[in-house]
A and B are shown apart, each in its own frame.
Chain A
Amino acid sequence: MTSVPLPLTMIVSHDPPGAIRNIATIAHRELRDAVSSRWFILYTLAFAVLGLAVSLVSASVTGSTGISGFGRTSAGLVNIVLLVVPLMALTAGAASIASDRERGMLSYVFAQPVSRLEVLLGKYVGLGASLLACLCLGLGACALILVWKGVATRPASIVWLAGLSFALALGMLSLGMLISTLARKASVAVGTAIFVWLTLVFVSDLALMTGAVALRLRIEELLAFSLINPLQVFKMWSLHAADASLDVLGPAGLYASEEYGQRLHLIFGSLLLTWVVFPLAAAAAVLSRRSPL
């Protein structure tokens, strides 16, 4: 592992249209590989089947009554997004660079007249597009099932859910790519990604719950700590977008609603953006300093 720090100017191409063309080419290549890969088909199927199951089960109960709300359908879909999307994005990101490195592909690509940042961004855009396709197909199918079953759901909420899931996916992809640049082997990268996923999905929430009771956290502290977790940000944002009030989340949610009101969109947005930008920037920094071998 040699550490020859490259100045940033050497990473970024001097010819912006050329850089964009390079990124587009790599992105397209990455997208094509991704959508024909096994993980993409598997995750898309898993996501769609779980979503459809949730929609059907909830439709069997609520379809007959003609009343609607943030009921089991929306809660179930949010839950499935929380489980599947981070796993999908983290592992996809983790596998990307590390597997190229393992196969020696990275040094080959770096020998081409493209900068390392272009390679990273190209891969990011390509994988992001493949995740978007997966989300759209899954949630679109769910929406049609809900229509077929006559469940009254606000159309905007499913569009919001798709958009927010994509934002969450981009954040997790970013984190996955950081893991990928740090790991030497693809297997290590994917293992680490699954560990991170487990932490974000279960461990941190359970720890925070225990901590909140044991340390008697005030609600604003509880809220602040929970917002460190991008999954909680996504969850609160999708509730906020669907219902305009977070009081369903008890005192802490009520506090958030009363204190910040419509500024919550901005807060949640910037928090998720942080999760997109910082890991990706860190990944770029690591990639520029590390040997491709």
Chain B
Amino acid sequence: MKPRAVHLLIVALLVLALADHGAAQTRSSEHSVPAFAPVPSDPIRLGVIGKMIAAAAEGDTIEVPAGVYREHLRIDRPVTLVAQGNAVLDGGGSGDIVEISAPRVALRGFTIRNTGIDLDKENAAVRVLAPRATIEDNTLEDVLFGIDLREAPDSVVRGNRIGGKNLDIARRGDGLRLWRSDRTLIEGNTIHDGRDAIIWYSTGVTVRHNRAHECRYGLHLMFSDDVTISHNEFSRNSVGVYLMYSARIELTQNQLTGNRGPSGYGIGLKEADQFAIRENLIAGNRAGVYIDGSPFTDKKPGEFTRNTLAYNDIGVTFLPSARGNELTDNNFIDNINQVSVAGRGALDANRFWKGERGNFWSDYTGYDQNRDGVGDFMHESQTLFDNIMDRQPALRLFLFSPAQHAIEFVGRAIPAVRPEAKFTDEVPLMAPVPIAFTAASGREGARTLLLAGSGGGLLAVGSAILALARGTQRVRGRAIDMRVNSTGGST
């Protein structure tokens, strides 16, 4: 063995090990949830804030000094509570923590933690029972329900960080819940480890710039009309946004990624109506969009424009009942099934192009001779294996195997078994529609370096072995004389 070759091999292995290690670190830090520093050494004060509220007049601002308060607050007059420094309200693991029963109350900058875990009583960190509340910049941790608005219209929930209890999903509460709270603004909150952020029977709500991860439903609309949802990030939930029985919904420029599980959808639509879904990035979900009985009426077609659906197991999945949707100018990039119909059924009642605008399909095989940006042949989705998977989901097990390609080849080559086109796009786009915003995480540079390192390491290992092979053989001790063998050396 040539010493130089051995050294080369060792260096290569080291590079590979480092690359893998670095990647693992990148991965773990992405998923970690920052821990909040507890204040265990402070003396616990009882009933202090309650007395301050009792002494306050309507419209007063109460400044609460830093410290840990073991209190269950009832705010029964229109006051503003502001935390000075790190003021912690600790529920001691029982009941609700803050209950607001007067209108125009503001609660700012507190850390609120440790509610009870009684699902029947719906233990909440902050419960609002009156209109025009402002809940702002609070940190909620270890809570069953986070912020619970009951008949609290015209409220503002902004900049809060809501962390649920580390319980089984069935035993968790909702990080955020609105019940008959019209025109509420929900902005810039982060919710994790909750059940749902859910909006019940509330009209005219605005939801923007929020993040939800590791929940069941990132955002769940029930019977809530005229809701605007924009610039939110819903990742690694079971479902990103679920719109149920709601009308006149605008869903714009949201990022829905990695929502997985048995019923993992980026966006779910159940009997939703008059909705517009525009410029969202929907990537890496089990199903990007799931459409069940939507749009519910024929007042307006379901609108899907300029969305990017990429790397989902299924791009858009239609239940046979879905009709009247129009998909134009969307990017369908490398979804394993671009479009599927659950069970049998056709997509005749839905359109994948309108006028001169179709969609971009990464699996489009045509060309554009006249260079007008639109493919010269229509895009027909008709892969045999897709159809088989739609009907026999268990056979997805054979995805990515050569057998899958064999089946698809047979489907293309033999007209007798060629499946009917699931849908057609008469004017497929040749280039992706620009994405409205970038999803780059800032780690791309490091990743590229690591990938280059991995590639270089692999090449080095390969070359090291070649060098080893070509190196002269050192004859030691009673090594066999192989010279004779070389006359019949393999060719």
Interfacial residues, chain A to chain B (CB-CB below 8 A) = 18, 21-22, 24-26, 28-29, 31-38, 58, 61-62, 64-72, 75, 78-79, 82-83, 95, 99, 103, 105, 108-109, 112-114, 129-130, 132-137, 139-144, 146-147, 150, 152-156, 158-159, 162, 201-202, 205-206, 208-209, 212-213, 217, 219, 222-223, 226, 231-232, 235, 239, 245, 247-254
Q: A66-B444, A130-B469, A239-B400 are in contact. Are A222 and B394 (CB under 8 A)?
A: yes
Interface residues on B, range: 35 or more
Q: A67-B310, A71-B334, A155-B447 are in contact. Are A141 and B465 (CB under 8 A)?
A: no
Whose C-beta in chain B lies nearest to the C-beta of A203?
B403
Chain A residues near B276 (CB, 8 Å)? none
Chain B residues near A75 (CB, 8 Å)? 336, 400
Tell whether B413 is near chain A: CB-to-CB under 8 Å. no
Q: In the complex the two chains form, what is the Cα distance from A202 to B404 in whole Å? A: 9
Q: When A and B form their complex, what is the total count of cross-chain residue pairs whose Cβ atoms lie within 8 Å?
A: 260
Q: Is the CB of B465 within 8 A of A136?
A: yes
Chain B residues near A150 (CB, 8 Å)? 448
Tell whether B166 is near chain A: CB-to-CB under 8 Å. no
Stretch at the interface among B38-46, B321-329, B374-382, B449-457: B449-457
Chain B residues near A217 (CB, 8 Å)? 394
Partner of A18, one of B284, B460, B469, B478: B478
Which B residues between 57 and 102 are near A, CB-CB below 8 angstroms? none
Partner of A103, one of B286, B362, B478, B488: B488
Tell whether B479 is near chain A: CB-to-CB under 8 Å. yes
Whose C-beta in chain A lies nearest to the C-beta of B396?
A250
Q: Is the CB of A38 within 8 A of B491?
A: yes
Q: A22-B480, A66-B440, A129-B468 are in contact. Are A202 and B336 (CB under 8 A)?
A: no
Tell whether B406 is near chain A: CB-to-CB under 8 Å. yes
Chain B residues near A58 (CB, 8 Å)? 334
Chain B residues near A29 (CB, 8 Å)? 473, 482, 485
Q: Give 14 A-B pairs besides A25-B479, A137-B458, A154-B451 with Cβ atoms closer than 8 angstroms.
A: A31-B468, A36-B469, A65-B331, A66-B435, A67-B310, A82-B400, A109-B480, A129-B468, A132-B461, A133-B466, A140-B459, A143-B451, A147-B452, A205-B402
Q: Is the CB of B397 within 8 A of A34?
A: no
A187 CB to nearest chain B CB (Å) = 14
Q: A21-B476, A108-B484, A155-B454 are in contact. Are A34 and B490 (CB under 8 A)?
A: yes
Q: Is the CB of A71 within 8 A of B310?
A: yes
Chain B residues near A25 (CB, 8 Å)? 473, 479-480, 482
Chain B residues near A202 (CB, 8 Å)? 402-403, 406
Q: In the complex the two chains form, what is the Cα distance from A142 to B456 in whole Å? A: 10
Partner of B457, one of A72, A132, A140, A222: A140
Q: Which of B331, B454, B463 has the most CB of A within 10 A?
A: B454
Whose C-beta in chain B lies nearest to the C-beta of A204?
B403
Q: Is the CB of A249 within 8 A of B402?
A: no
Whose C-beta in chain B lies nearest to the C-beta of A28?
B473
Which B residues between 386 and 408 are near A, CB-CB below 8 angstroms? 389, 392-403, 405-407
Chain A residues near B397 (CB, 8 Å)? 222-223, 226, 232, 249-250, 252-253
Tell whether B333 is near chain A: CB-to-CB under 8 Å. yes
Minimum-distance CB pairs A-B, first 6: A250-B396, A69-B311, A143-B455, A140-B458, A136-B462, A140-B459
Whose C-beta in chain A lies nearest to the C-beta of B312?
A69
Q: In the complex the two chains form, what is the Cα distance from A105 to B478 in whole Å? A: 20
Q: Is the CB of B455 within 8 A of A158?
A: yes
Chain A residues near B20 (CB, 8 Å)? 155-156, 159
Q: In the complex the two chains form, what is the Cα distance from A137 to B463 in whole Å? A: 7
Q: A34-B469, A155-B450 are in contact. Are A245 and B260 (CB under 8 A)?
A: yes
Tell whether B470 is near chain A: CB-to-CB under 8 Å. yes
Q: Is the CB of B451 within 8 A of A146?
A: yes
Q: Is the CB of A67 within 8 A of B452?
A: no
B466 CB to nearest chain A CB (Å) = 6
Q: In the complex the two chains form, what is the Cα distance from A21 to B448 in whole Å? A: 42
Q: Is the CB of B401 within 8 A of A35?
A: no
Q: Is the CB of B454 within 8 A of A158?
A: yes
B310 CB to nearest chain A CB (Å) = 5
Whose C-beta in chain A lies nearest to the C-beta of B479?
A25
Q: Is the CB of A158 within 8 A of B262?
A: no
A-B contact pairs, 10 of them (CB 8 A): A64-B432, A66-B439, A79-B402, A108-B484, A109-B485, A143-B451, A155-B451, A158-B455, A251-B396, A254-B262
Whose C-beta in chain B lies nearest to the C-beta of A208?
B398
Tell whether B227 is near chain A: CB-to-CB under 8 Å. no
Tell whether B3 is near chain A: CB-to-CB under 8 Å. no
Q: Is the CB of B311 within 8 A of A70?
A: yes
Chain B residues near A61 (CB, 8 Å)? 333-334, 362, 432
